[in-house]
Structure 1
Amino acid sequence: MDKIVKYRELIKNILTEYDQLVNQSPDHQSETCLVFDENHDHYLWLTVDWQEDKRLKSTHVHIRIKNNKIYIEEDWTEEGIANELLREGVPKEDIVLAFYDPETRKHTDFAIA
């Protein structure tokens, strides 16, 4: 299987599992959305809701595939999407913690860009 196709499937599966887990909680009342844009390789998991007359939107995870690597743009999960990807066999050299600035990325075990 082509590496990019494999990465797309892994990302979609991981985000779908998170979404299903959250929606099984009896305390969960907000609407969650999964957005999978394979044409531009952007993958999002977010929540939309209303609190009285105020609109609430939260992006929990934003991932994109760029230059044959997985860029984690935003990740508010407890365990971390990078750890999930590592468990699935994605090498550290193919994961970019893009929520860090490039200088800080040099001090992680993951790809800089």
Structure 2
Amino acid sequence: MDKLTNYRHLITKILTEYQELSSKTPNPSGIDSVLALDEKRDQYLWMQTGWHDDEKIRGISVYIRIKNQKIYIEEDWTEEGIATELLREGVPKEDIVLAFHDPETRKYTDFAVA
């Protein structure tokens, strides 16, 4: 399996596991956990959306994209962090970009800058 195919598979696997775990936890009625996996454009999104009382609820838990052969974690509100999961699966740190940090701050992490 080539690198990009492997990365797509790992991201899909990890986000599916998170979404399935989340769906087992009671949410306020009317709130759905949504998983959107677009391998053609290399965009991966796990979010919550719906209505609670008269309030529209929407929130991104994880947003990942693949760009320039690297995994860009744009948003991550998981407890351990998607980067940790990717490292466990054998993705090297130099192929993971913590894109929720600005480019200046990224150079102080153990991960790729871009």
| Band the TM-score falls in, shorter-chain normalisation | over 0.9
* TM-score, length-scaled by structure 2: 0.95
RMSD between superposed Cα atoms in Å: 0.8
Summarize the alignment of residues 1-113 of structure 1 with structure 2, pairs less than 5 Å apart. 1-25=1-25, 27-29=26-28, 30-113=31-114
- CA–CA separation in structure 2 for the residues paired with 1:107 and 1:28: 37
Q: Determine the C-alpha separation between the residues in 1 that align with 2:67 and 2:92.
A: 15
Distance in 2 between residues matched to 1:108 and 1:73, nearest whole Å: 15
Find the aligned partners of 2:11 and 2:100 in 1 and give their Cα distance. 17
Q: Alignment length, in residue pairs?
A: 112
Q: Which moved more, 1:33-42 or 1:68-77?
A: 33-42
SS in 2 for 1:73: strand
AA aligned to 1:4 is L
Task: Give 1:52 deviation, angstroms.
Answer: 1.5
Give the whole-Å Cα distance in 2 for the aligned partners of 1:47 and 1:94.
Answer: 28
Counterpart amino acid of residue 98 in structure 1: A
Q: Which amino acid aligns with 1:49?
A: G
Render the CA deviation track for 1:16-50: whole Å, top value 9, x for unaligned.
Answer: 0000111112x234211100111110000000021
1:47-88 CA deviation, whole Å, 9 max, x = no partner? Answer: 002122221110000000000000000000000000000000
Structure 2 unaligned residues grouped into runs of 5+: none
- The offset of 1:100, in angstroms, is 0.2
Paired-residue identity, %: 62
Unaligned runs of 5+ in 1: none
Normalised to the residue count of structure 1, the TM-score between the two structures is 0.96
Shift of 1:3: 0.3
